[in-house]
Structure 1
Amino acid sequence: MPEPDLPPMAVAGVASNDAPSDDEIEFHEPRRPRRRGIYILPNLFTLAALFGGFYAIVMAMNGRFEQAAYGIFTAALLDSLDGRVARMTNTQSAFGEQMDSLSDMVSFGAAPALIVYEWVLHSLGKAGWIAAFIYCACAALRLARFNTNIAIVDKRFFQGLPSPAAAALVVGFIWVMDDAGYEGASQYAGLPWGTFFLTLYAGLTMVTNAPFYSFKDVSFKRTVPFAAIVAIALGIALVNIHPPTVLFGLFCAYGVSGYIVYAYRKVKGKPVSVIATSTDEPDERGLH
């Protein structure tokens, strides 16, 4: 026999019995994104490098240019370590990359420009602060280009003079002159303009395409010949003979090495660009 049709109220009753009541419904708040911490070890090196640049500015404002040089060279040493420490401890992060760039801009962009202006460029008037500004602007442009091209540049070379080396070139010259007793540098004929051209050279070399060896393919995890350890010991002893002169000489040699490599590759018909791969984006072409 066919089953009798149930009244609509009965059907509704069954449906209402199966549906959960308001008390049984649980409301879940949307999950909040998990907070990401900051790796302390590499960022400690970066903060210490930033302090070195700030310390150098304060010392220059007080006329203590030898201590200012200590701050810049210490910042350069710490800057060379923070990235390696992050890679060796597997603590790389986007925060660390941005922090490193900001620290570099202060320690190797603004600080050397202010130090060299305070030392002698102020005596040249408008030409002096223009040279200091060109150096500072080139440091900013070099760091921006480095961050943009980081994925496509040959890791063995820097595209242009790295900012720590440019800072060491400018401040190293001040250190040598100060150590030689050139107090009141503006009183010596030719010294202000020589510093002017050195500052422009360091700044403009940062934004060239000349390839400067990066030393990034040097691994501390591989074994080295015994002679390498002896060479390191001799290098440390050489620097200790007279740190201002030796360090400035080393950075002068490094400051021209990129042009030598560029000319050598050009003569041999080898590619001179350090860009490993090309990009089709039109707004990126000028960066290469």
Structure 2
Amino acid sequence: MSADRDQDPDALEPVPSALLRPPARRRRFRNVPLRIVLPNLITLLSLCLGLTAIRYATEGSFERAVFFIVAAAVLDGVDGRLARALKGTTRFGAELDSLADFVDFGVAPALTLYFWNMHQMKSFGWFAAMVFAIAMALRLARFNAGLDDPDRPAWASNFFTGMPAPAGAITALLPLYLHLSALGWVFERWAVALEIAYLLGIAGLMASAIPHFSGKSLGRVPREQVIPVLFGVAVFVLLLATFPMEVLAAVVILFLALIPFSLRSHRRYVRRDAEKARSFPA
């Protein structure tokens, strides 16, 4: 019986199908170019600055906390422009940038103001800090959702819907600038209530649909204006290094004063598109 079994091919046990399959190809990982890695590294650096600002806020070094938040805002503007210039924009980079922005411009400013003096109002101060962080999260989520909107007109890139994240953080710290400036304004307990109302107002501007100038159209400078622009930038940097809190306070006041002009400009574009739609119906 055993000899017949060895000679009969039909009596052989079937070979498992897994052994008959061709060997699977090794998964090859493509090399990621440096033009994609570099903007993400800058984003991670800005995240480190935001976390360091939280550390200094908990230690009571509020001037250093302001410095790191402002530095994170500068890097936030650099990484996006660098990614577009190097053609290294990716979905991963956009998501990482949003997460870093929430920490840098939502959590860090709110905790800085709370540890500075809003804790005097106890639950009301913490409530304002949470509302500001929530408004920042909603603003960033709306921005990410708007990236995939194909129906946006070309002029919409000149405006942000709601106050931008870095601008919201820098604007929210205005009371701290006034305290640390040469004015030395002291925010007593009754003034903290005004500070909380101001912070809630900034949170409302971020979560609202009020348009703000984006500044993305300022990528090119006319040849005849290069020298004046360089001179103006140099003067601004020197003033910022010499009188940082005073300059930041002036920038915030100027930015808030531009909101009505951005709203009027946005309405002008909308009115122009409506007139074109009436003149050339589909």
Q: TM-score range by the shorter chain?
A: 0.7 to 0.9
1:54 to 51, 54, 59: 51
1:178, CA displacement in angstroms? 2.8
- The 1:145/1:229 distance shift into structure 2, 3 A limit, reads same
1:236, CA displacement in angstroms? 2.8
Residue ranges of structure 2 left out of the alignment (5+ in a row)? 1-16, 274-282
Helix, strand or coil at the partner of 2:216:
coil
For the pair shown, the structure with the greater C-alpha radius of gyration is 1
Partner residue, 1:215: 215
After superposition, the C-alpha distances for 1:228-281 in whole angstroms (9 at most, x for unaligned) are 223323333443452211112212221342234325665xx6528x9xxxxxxx
Helix, strand or coil at the partner of 2:258:
helix
> Does the 8 A contact of 2:212 with 2:263 survive in 1?
no
- The 1:208/1:106 distance shift into structure 2, 3 A limit, reads same
- The 1:221/1:96 distance shift into structure 2, 3 A limit, reads farther
> Does the 8 A contact of 1:161 with 1:258 survive in 2?
no
Q: Decide which moves more: 96-105 or 145-154.
A: 145-154
Partner residue, 2:280: none
1:91, CA displacement in angstroms? 1.7
Partner residue, 1:32: 27
Partner residue, 1:83: 80
> Does the 8 A contact of 1:165 with 1:255 survive in 2?
no
Asked if 1:42 corresponds to 2:44, the answer is no
Asked if 1:157 corresponds to 2:159, the answer is yes
Asked if 1:236 corresponds to 2:231, the answer is no
Q: Decide which moves more: 139-148 or 225-234.
A: 225-234
> Does the 8 A contact of 1:160 with 1:205 survive in 2?
yes
The aligned runs of 1:1-288 (5 Å cut-off) are 27-29=22-24, 32=27, 34-35=29-30, 37=32, 39-152=36-149, 153=152, 154-180=156-182, 188-220=188-220, 223=223, 225=225, 226-263=227-264, 271=270
Give the number of the structure whose residues are more often helix, by fraction: 2
Helix, strand or coil at the partner of 2:143:
helix
After superposition, the C-alpha distances for 1:102-133 in whole angstroms (9 at most, x for unaligned) are 00000001111111111111111221111111
Distance 2:62 2:23 in 1: 62
1:92, CA displacement in angstroms? 1.5
1:58, CA displacement in angstroms? 0.4
- The 1:173/1:36 distance shift into structure 2, 3 A limit, reads farther
With the length of structure 1 as denominator, give the TM-score of the two structures: 0.76
Task: Percent identity, please.
Answer: 30
With the length of structure 2 as denominator, give the TM-score of the two structures: 0.77
Distance 1:151 1:69 in 2: 34
Distance 1:264 1:86 in 2: 28
Q: Decide which moves more: 166-175 or 127-136.
A: 166-175
Residue ranges of structure 1 left out of the alignment (5+ in a row)? 1-21, 275-288
Q: Decide which moves more: 201-210 or 170-179.
A: 170-179
1:227, CA displacement in angstroms? 2.6
Distance 1:151 1:223 in 2: 35
Letter in 2 for 1:216: K
Distance 1:235 1:63 in 2: 28
1:223, CA displacement in angstroms? 4.1
Q: Decide which moves more: 81-90 or 99-108.
A: 81-90
Helix, strand or coil at the partner of 2:199:
helix
Distance 2:138 2:192 in 1: 25
